[in-house]
Amino acid sequence: MKLQAVKQRYGIVGRSELLDRAMNTALRVAATDLTVLITGESGVGKEVISKIIHDYSSRKHNSFIAINTGAIPEGTINSELFGHEKGAFTGASSDRKGYFETVNKGTIFLDEIGEMPLDTQAYLLRVLESGEYIKVGSSTVVKTDIRVVAATNVNLIEKIKQGKFREDLYYRLNTVPIKVPALHERREDIKILFRKFANDFAEKYKTDSVRLDEQAKSIVENYGWPGNIRELRNLVEQLSVMSEDHLISSEDLLKQAPHLTQRNLPARPGGGKSDFEEREILYKFLLDMKSDLNDLKNLFYEIVQRNDLIMPTSQAPRSRDASAEIDRMRMNSQPRYVDVNQDVNYNDSYRDQPVIINKQSDYSESEEVEESLSLDDKTKELIRKALKKNKGRRKEAAEELGISERTLYRKIKEYEIET
């Protein structure tokens, strides 16, 4: 069985890999009696997939019926699906057969299954599990042999969480899931579909088929198509009837359908903001990150300078300002060897430099004091001193250290400093 032949039979146009995958799954499962759940946005062609499943199954010579369960009032849906007996409710003047009885041995397609009332879901679950149901107003169990193919354009998992859909029914329906791709997921098919619809309407209205120039094609291909194939078909019909020129320019296209310039991005929960406001939020976030990095660099440089540490050459930053600062600190941190027998004039240029007594001098009784050079230890020590000096006030301590209060708070948690 060739997929292309199936596409021609049902008028399906496109070469999308996602579409081919959905159709191949439908053809493979058709020969079985497994329950199928078809998912996809409104207008993607879920009913066509259900017809393929029926037509290539062993039930193809029996009845097929498509029911939109969301369009049937809650008070009558049980009667519509399972039938009722005379006198079961006001207005029930005679017995009535339901779809599960009239389509026995065939296939029933239940569209918008997510809108089915909970009590009807219980009836349907029993049919799927045992092939039995009871008519409204009756106590007699009726048997049926019917295949159920269901479809939904909503997230049934979310419905389950909200208590609006039975979890056991979901897993019973979802024996074989088939997802039909939305039009924005198969953009390579948009031009093909446009041309196909244009030819169809040209034949219908006895006119030349409409065509798009390059700019108009770009607009059509980049639109989000929330209404999917149904929306595209309606647009082509509108252009076929309303356009004077059969070569549609971008200006003519937008006159007929100005909404095509909308990008249809997902909305922000709670109302959403404009693109400009979203960019402003992103810029502010990036600036805050940059500020935090600068605070950390300043704190690091200060620790290096105060503790006479030497920066390794391989870690020196590449920017000219930072390199100059590191070079200055490296020069200031170079130790001077001084002979204690000589007089040294400690002027300002040497005031902050460490002094190491010449090991060749006669002064041999000096003690060598080991000091921790751990950067983390020094950072903790500086933070403790700043907090102590400012009596635990973090804002003042952060100003004293030259970092933001947020960075200080993060460091306090990181080093588990008691405040």
| CATH code for the domain of 190 | 1.10.8.60
Query: Considering the chain, what is the average pLDDT of its residues?
Result: 81
Q: What is the three-class DSSP state of 332?
A: helix
Higher pLDDT, 399 or 255: 255
> Do the domain assignments include residue 322?
no
CB atoms within 10 A of CB 210: 27
Segments forming the whole domain that contains residue 249? 185-261
The residues near 162 (Cβ < 8 Å, ≥ 6 apart) are none
Cβ(51)–Cβ(225) below 8 Å: no
Highest mean pLDDT among 165-169, 240-244, 320-324, 410-414: 165-169
**Chain length of the chain:** 419
> Do the domain assignments include residue 252?
yes
pLDDT at 344 over 80: no
Provide, rounded to the nearest whole percent, the portion of the chain with pLDDT above 70: 77
Provide, rounded to the nearest whole percent, the portion of the chain with pLDDT above 90: 52
The mean pLDDT of 226-254, rounded to a whole number, is 92
Q: Same domain for 137 and 237?
A: no
* CATH code of the domain covering residue 158: 3.40.50.300
Query: Rounded distance, CA 239 to CA 255, Å?
Result: 10
What was the pLDDT predicted at 275?
52
> Do the domain assignments include residue 336?
no
Q: Same domain for 37 and 138?
A: yes
> Do the domain assignments include residue 296?
no
Q: pLDDT-derived band of residue 282, with 50, 70 and 90 as boundaries?
A: low
> Do the domain assignments include residue 293?
no
User: For 14-63, how does the pLDDT look when each residue is reduced to its tens digit (9 = 90+)?
Assistant: 999 999 999 999 999 999 999 999 999 999 999 999 999 999 999 999 99
What was the pLDDT predicted at 311?
63
pLDDT at 256 over 70: yes
What was the pLDDT predicted at 20?
94
Q: Same domain for 134 and 53?
A: yes
How many domains does the chain fold into?
A: 2
Q: pLDDT-derived band of residue 274, with 50, 70 and 90 as boundaries?
A: very low
Domain final residue pick, 128, 152, 181: 181
> Do the domain assignments include residue 329?
no
Rg (CA), the chain: 38
Beta strands 107-111 and 64-68 are parallel
Q: Same domain for 250 and 137?
A: no
Domain final residue pick, 261, 289, 315: 261
Q: Same domain for 30 and 83?
A: yes
SS (H, E, C) 177-205: EEECCCHHHCHHHHHHHHHHHHHHHHHHH
Domain final residue pick, 242, 261, 280: 261
Q: Same domain for 168 and 199?
A: no
pLDDT at 2 over 70: yes
Query: Rounded distance, CA 275 to CA 272, Å?
Result: 9
CB atoms within 10 A of CB 95: 14
> Do the domain assignments include residue 297?
no
What was the pLDDT predicted at 290?
72
Task: Name which of 203, 193, 175, 206 is nearest 234 in CA terms.
Answer: 193
pLDDT at 269 over 70: no
Q: Same domain for 102 and 239?
A: no
User: For 140-184, how does the pLDDT look when each residue is reduced to its tens digit (9 = 90+)?
Assistant: 999 999 999 999 999 999 999 999 999 999 999 999 999 999 999
Q: Same domain for 160 and 246?
A: no
Q: Same domain for 116 and 128?
A: yes
Q: Same domain for 18 and 167?
A: yes
Q: Same domain for 46 and 105?
A: yes
Q: What is the pTM of this model?
A: 0.61
What was the pLDDT predicted at 270?
45
Query: Rounded distance, CA 25 to CA 412, Å?
Result: 57
> Do the domain assignments include residue 278?
no
What was the pLDDT predicted at 328?
58
Q: Same domain for 140 and 12?
A: yes
Cβ(226)–Cβ(234) below 8 Å: no
User: For 73-128, how does the pLDDT look when each residue is reduced to its tens digit (9 = 90+)?
Assistant: 988 999 999 998 887 787 778 888 999 999 999 999 999 999 999 999 999 999 99
